[in-house]
Homo-oligomer: A and B are copies of this chain.
Amino acid sequence: MCQLLGMNCNTPTDITFSFEGFRRRAGLTDHHTDGFGIAFFEGKGVRIFRDNRPGASSPMADLVNQYRIKSYNVIAHIRKATKGDVNLENTHPFIREIWGENWVFAHNGTVEVSVCPNNHYQPIGTTDSEAAFCCMVAKLKERFPQKPSEQALFDAVMEITNEIAAHGVFNFILSNGHWMIARCSTNLHYVCRKAPFGKALRDDDVLIDFSQYTTESDKVTIITTQPLTKNENWVKMKNGGFVFFKDGDTLFEVEGTLPECQPHV
């Protein structure tokens, strides 16, 4: 099993505080040591850093923290391998081009998914996660030769991935750089950070005062497997829950997925 981290914002935001706590679980506070990856969208482009070494000690992860890249959408993953060897091609997040967009995907759980030999999208590695992602984008491309509306897309992703989720555990985060979709099969939490901004205490006792780094209009949603801070109002998504985030806000959701956003202040 693995852990997921996603960030969706209305202003380019530095994820270092959250990522630094997250990657401690890849060898220090937890055992997700079979590689890590993080993708930062920048316009239509994306920077992806992956390593098959543990996120807590990977020099690639050190670099990511030094860089302080600001982005509207970020997806990160720390791996505890269940299916597929520990190597670069099996390291999340996975990426494919669809409708001239970069789509980035990370998964927590294990699913039974058969690789269709005639799918246009083929997995490069041997994980169930990449096979499921390829299956999803192939079905979307078949259904929509041209890019559909966001609502139609959300509905289709939900329908297609519910079929996949019937054969396993399928918590995932997906983004095209404009929006982020989170699906909770068993375990996914989120917190929204907005004004009035307060202080957050990470679970390794590092404190940050968000009010020093933000403006009144900023909205930042963090989605993750396990809450990263001790004193924020993390919401556990319901099983089978689906949310479409855009600009740090919830745009669509399956009814009852999310209670109203109440950040810690």
Which of A99, A101, A121, A122 gathers the greatest number of chain B CB atoms within 10 Å? A122
Interface-located stretch among A26-34, A84-92, A189-197: A84-92
Task: Decide if A148 is an interface residue (CB 8 Å cutoff).
Answer: no
Q: Give per-residue flags for A91-109: 1 if the beta carbon is below 8 A from chain B beta carbons, else 0.
A: 1000011011110000000
Q: Report B-chain residues with C-beta under 8 Å of the C-beta of A63.
A: 63
Given the contacts A47-B50, A87-B45, A124 and B97 also touching, CB distance less than 8 Å: yes
Residue of B nearest to A141 (CB): B120
Q: Interface size on A (CB < 8 Å)? A: 33
Copies of this polypeptide in the complex: 2
Q: Would you give the shortest CB distance from A211 to chain B, in whole angstroms?
A: 29
Check A113 for interface membership: any CB of B closer than 8 A: no
A44 at the interface (CB under 8 A from B): yes
A87 touches B124 (CB 8 A): no
B118 and A145 form a contact (CB under 8 A): yes
Assess A100 versus B87: contact at CB under 8 Å? Given A45-B50, A50-B47, A63-B63. no
Alpha-carbon separation in the docked complex, A91 to B102 (Å): 14
Closest B residue, CB atoms, query A146? B117
Q: How far is the CB of A65 from chain B (nearest CB, A)?
A: 12
A 137-155 contacts with B by CB, 8 A: 141, 145-146
Q: What 0/1 pattern do residues 35 to 75 of A give for CB contact below 8 A with B?
A: 00000001111111010000000010001000100000000
